[in-house]
Amino acid sequence: MPDLKTAVRIRPLDELDIGGIVRIDERISGSHRPDFWESRVMYYLRRDPQSSQVAEADGKLVGFMLGDVRAGEFGLEEPSGWIERFGIDPEFRGRDLGRAMFNAIAAHFRELGTTRIRTLAAQSDAVTGFLTRLGFQPAPLVALEMRVPGASQEKQ
């Protein structure tokens, strides 16, 4: 268990964070997905590095939150800040790192002139509680899905 007094630094995402993100994801999900994260980190970096933030303790990545500002999707014409992926090293949970990263992203979204932050989470998902504590509320939009007609069950 790391020392709770270890200073944590919140800073924008950079390209050297990929290894740390892969590690946190593996600790949470049990899957080693470097190719996936290389591709995703490249996406967020080329969009706007400051819309994604990471938490670092003793030079080691212990949390990440990836976001982006987009407009025109789902009929939402106004630019919205989107929080799309985040993870905290299990050993560093309970230290409000998620909130600290969120606050840094929210401040940047505010600078960009956006007035709404949006995200999607499964209703049963443990992260829903975290998002609610941050101030997220159910939106008037409804997330809908269906199986592609004719698609096989195995591919679901």
Partner 1 sequence: MKFEKITLEKKYHDAVEHWRRHYLKDYDSLLENWEKYFPEDEPFCLCAKLELGTPETVPVGEHAGEKKRLKPDQLTEEEAKHLLAIIRAQASTEFGSIQQHSGTLERAQDDEDRFWVLRVMAEELRHGYQMFHLLLSQDWTHVSGGVKGEEMVEEILSMQTGSHVLDAFNLEYDSFVDNIVFAALIDRVGKYQLTMQKACAYKPMADSMPPMLREEAFHLAAGVIPMRRWARRAAEGSPLIHMGMIQKSINKWFPRGLEMFGDERGGESNVRMGFKDMKNRQAQDLYIEEVRRMVRDINARFLRARFPEYTPDKVDQALEELEKSRGTHRGVAFDELLRLPDRRFFRRKGEPAFSMVGFEGEEFTDVEAYLRHVADHLPEAYLASRDLKNYFEVLRQVAAGKLTVAEGIMKMPKLKRVGGNCPCSRAVRWVMEEPAAPAGGRPAA
Q: State the residues that interact with partner 1 by CB under 8 A.
A: 14-16, 18-19, 22-23, 26-27, 32, 34, 38, 41-42, 45-50, 70, 111-113
CB of 49 to partner 1, least distance (A): 4
Query: Strands of 53-57's sheet, edge to edge?
Result: 8-12, 53-57, 60-70, 80-88, 117-118
Beta pairing partners, 11:
54
Q: Which is nearer to partner 1, 77 or 111 (CB)?
A: 111
> Which residue shows structure tokens 């905290």?
88
Q: Which is nearer to partner 1, 52 or 131 (CB)?
A: 52
Comparison of 113 and 140: residue with beta carbon closer to partner 1: 113
Q: Percentage helix, strand, coil, to 5, in the chain? A: 40, 20, 40
Query: Residue 87: how many CB atoms within 10 A of its CB?
Result: 21
In terms of C-beta density within 10 A (0-12 exposed, 13-18 middle, 19 or more buried), how is residue 86 classed?
Answer: buried
What is the closest distance, in whole angstroms, from the C-beta atom of residue 15 to partner 1 in the complex? Answer: 4
Nearer to partner 1, 61 or 101 (CB): 61
75: left (phi over 0), alpha (psi -120 to 50) or beta: left
CB-wise, 48 or 96, nearer to partner 1? 48
Shortest gap between Cβ of 16 and partner 1 (angstroms)? 5
Q: What is the smallest separation between the CB atom of 51 and partner 1, expressed in angstroms?
A: 9
